[in-house]
Amino acid sequence: MNLRTRITWLFALLAIVPVVIVGFMALYTGRQSIEQVEINHLVSTNLMKSSELTRWIEGNQQRIEELAQRPLVVQHSASLAAYDPADPAYSSALLGLEQDHLKPRIKPVGGFVEISVINPGSGIIMASSDDAQEGKYHSNQRFFAEGKTHTYTQGVFYSLPLQQTTMFVSTPVTDKGKKLVAVLAGRLDMRDLSLIMSAQSGLRLSEKTYLVNKSNFFVTEPSFGEGYALKKTVRTEGVRAGLAGSDGVGFYSDYRNVSVIGAYKWLPDYNMCLITEVDQAEAYARIDSMAVTVISIVSLLALIVVAASFLLARTITLPLARLVAGAAAIGRGHLDQKVGTDARDEIGELSRAFDRMAMELKETTVSLDELERHIRERTFQLEAANKELEAFTYSVSHDLRVPLRAIGGYTRILMEEYQELLDAEGKRVCSVIAEGAQKMSTLIDDLLAFSRLGRSAINPRKLDMEELANAVFQDLTTAQTRKRIDFQVDAAPPVMGDLALLRQVWVNLISNAIKFSSRKRRAVIRVHGEKGESENVYSVEDNGAGFDMQYTHKLFGVFQRLHSVKEFEGNGVGLALVQRVVLRHGGRVWAEGKPGKGATFYFSLPG
């Protein structure tokens, strides 16, 4: 690569790199700002929706309470409870209650779709805005039992008789003596709830809000789907966090497997989770458009800078080329050659020095020996000038590399030559850094092994699981450690599977049992297997540290630990490997345990 090319690239890099860095930082800052705006909007939407839900429920509670306190409602309800249905007084009370109080409260859209008066003793519907409901029983419904003592709202549930999702608000009907004469129950119009959740709170087309119950079922219909309510489950990262009682924001894939930004909020009064999500593609559309613009501007600027750098390089290299050509001509004896320029820089001074040298040579008349001496002197001067030129060119390049070399040099000096200056804390920090690097290396190796499990082929063969479990235990323990462990293998039926992969399953489960029971004076480990109709179930049970069942969903996740590293060594990958191997064989994994009482890990394989 010649000098002109090197100079061109040097100036281009010096001009383009800062622009690229600034552009990247602008895009990064813009993305962060957009994320924060979206997060604030989603959180605000959740707060607004939860407030609207509360107002809706409280409003319906007030309406049912107001109806229950009406004197005629109390009088008619008492008559229905006191008289026989064949008695004219019963018929009169029923007609007055339905025509004057119940049916007028029913609207085509919104509010209550049915209001019933229920006998507090038998649970039978004595009067209803829906004539078809009279005579039916609600004695086994929770809203009936709770409505005897206070106003109660039963959360969304699927009604088998109605074949649809529903909610009930109930309240006691009492006479002046506070005696319970009936339970007034109103079935809410679920369209109101869907309208509250589906109402757009902004201009985002992909924004959606929906409710999920403790069983992971949709409570309301999401914007992009029909027939989901209490019929389909959703197990996204946001839903898991919300049902765990957390309020927050996450970046994950939604029930359509589309990447979204989601806000989740737990509603403890209703045992439901409120989810609001917006597609990441829509949220980041503006910054993506900005990225295209920035890339176009940087590309155009790069072309301009390269062209400008090329022209600038020519202004440096052309005088140098003329100087080299002139020096060569003078060296061949052409003393009339002129190479001087009007430039006021070092190259101009050097060229004029060449001209003066040629002039002096021409004006001097000497003998051949003297001439040769002068030639040798001038040649030496030319060589010195060329060396100065090379030194100048080298220094330009070298000075640019010095800061980079300094960074690396000072770093090495700190690690290699100043170690003895470190105090105990400094050495401890270095030790922590080294241990952290080793742990990171181990984690990377485990992750690679975890990844390879998903790509390696399965070579099935018939395996003796009893023999395999015993062999693994022998490999994992020494004669000394086996003295403190009661290891027992019950009937473990054979199975078709990959020897290497299933051996790894036994290694991870048995080694975990040994590790977590290591603090027991006498460890007990039991391996058991049962043959079923379609699958064989195997288990490894120990009397070790155990775990809290509320965290069982974390057991088989990568890097998920229920005990600290100080308590028990490990990196949280072993059980994830077990799950991946078992799933690849068409089986499943689960666990049971109690803190301090031990744990049992199960896995099944097709029989």
Q: What is the mean pLDDT of residues 289-316?
A: 74
* Cα(107)–Cα(275) distance, integer angstroms: 29
573 backbone dihedrals φ, ψ, rounded to 5°: -110, -25
Together in a domain, 588 and 465: yes
pLDDT in tens, 466-498: 999 999 999 888 888 888 899 999 888 999 998
Lowest mean pLDDT among 219-228, 387-396, 566-575: 387-396
* Cα(81)–Cα(174) distance, integer angstroms: 12
Question: Given 368, 386, 408, which residue is the final one in a domain?
Answer: 408
With bands split at pLDDT 50, 70 and 90, how would you rate the model's confidence at 393? very low
- Cα 306 to Cα 184, 280, 301, 342: the distances in Å are 83, 37, 8, 27
User: Residue 353 belongs to what domain range?
Assistant: 316-408
Higher pLDDT, 180 or 227: 180
The mean pLDDT of the chain is 79
DSSP 205: T
Asked whether residue 279 carries a pLDDT value surpassing 80, the answer given is: yes
pLDDT in tens, 348-368: 676 677 677 777 766 664 445
Q: Does the residue 231 lie in any domain?
A: yes
pLDDT recorded at residue 546: 84
With bands split at pLDDT 50, 70 and 90, how would you rate the model's confidence at 410? very low
Q: Does the residue 223 lie in any domain?
A: yes
Asked whether residue 516 carries a pLDDT value surpassing 90, the answer given is: no
Together in a domain, 169 and 238: no
pLDDT recorded at residue 561: 62
Q: Does the residue 397 lie in any domain?
A: yes
Based on its alpha-carbon atoms, the radius of gyration of the chain, rounded to whole angstroms, reads 42
DSSP 233: B
* Cα(569)–Cα(516) distance, integer angstroms: 9
Question: Given 345, 380, 408, which residue is the final one in a domain?
Answer: 408
198 backbone dihedrals φ, ψ, rounded to 5°: -85, -15
* Cα(150)–Cα(146) distance, integer angstroms: 6
Asked whether residue 450 carries a pLDDT value surpassing 60, the answer given is: no
Q: Does the residue 25 lie in any domain?
A: no
Please report, for the domain that includes residue 250, its CATH number: 3.30.450.20
DSSP 369: H
Together in a domain, 225 and 357: no
pLDDT recorded at residue 182: 94
pLDDT recorded at residue 84: 87
Please report, for the domain that includes residue 472, its CATH number: 3.30.565.10
Together in a domain, 403 and 328: yes
With bands split at pLDDT 50, 70 and 90, how would you rate the model's confidence at 289? confident
Asked whether residue 119 carries a pLDDT value surpassing 50, the answer given is: yes
Asked whether residue 420 carries a pLDDT value surpassing 60, the answer given is: yes
Together in a domain, 181 and 217: no
Q: Does the residue 27 lie in any domain?
A: no
Q: What percent of the chain has pLDDT over 90?
A: 28
Structural contact between residues 73 and 105, judged by C-beta atoms closer than 8 angstroms: no
* Cα(443)–Cα(449) distance, integer angstroms: 10
Q: What is the dihedral of CA 284, 290, 292, 296, to 10 degrees?
A: -170
DSSP H helices, 456-530, are 465-476, 479-482, 499-516
Together in a domain, 526 and 588: yes
With bands split at pLDDT 50, 70 and 90, how would you rate the model's confidence at 575? confident
* Cα(164)–Cα(286) distance, integer angstroms: 42
* Cα(350)–Cα(340) distance, integer angstroms: 8
* Cα(114)–Cα(322) distance, integer angstroms: 102
With bands split at pLDDT 50, 70 and 90, how would you rate the model's confidence at 407? very low
Q: What is the mean pLDDT of residues 210-226?
A: 86
pLDDT recorded at residue 180: 94
pLDDT recorded at residue 403: 46
Together in a domain, 184 and 325: no
pLDDT recorded at residue 384: 67
Question: Given 192, 215, 232, which residue is the final one in a domain?
Answer: 192
Together in a domain, 601 and 477: yes
State the Cα angle at 144 between 131 and 197, rounded to 5°. Answer: 85
Together in a domain, 271 and 214: yes
Together in a domain, 252 and 117: no
pLDDT recorded at residue 431: 54
Asked whether residue 528 carries a pLDDT value surpassing 90, the answer given is: yes
Q: Does the residue 93 lie in any domain?
A: yes
Together in a domain, 209 and 186: no
* Cα(434)–Cα(479) distance, integer angstroms: 33
pLDDT recorded at residue 406: 43
pLDDT recorded at residue 379: 75
pTM, to two decimals? 0.47
pLDDT in tens, 435-446: 544 455 555 555
pLDDT recorded at residue 422: 55
Domain tally, the chain: 4
Q: Does the residue 447 lie in any domain?
A: no
Q: Does the residue 438 lie in any domain?
A: no
Q: What is the mean pLDDT of residues 192-208?
A: 78
Asked whether residue 397 carries a pLDDT value surpassing 50, the answer given is: no
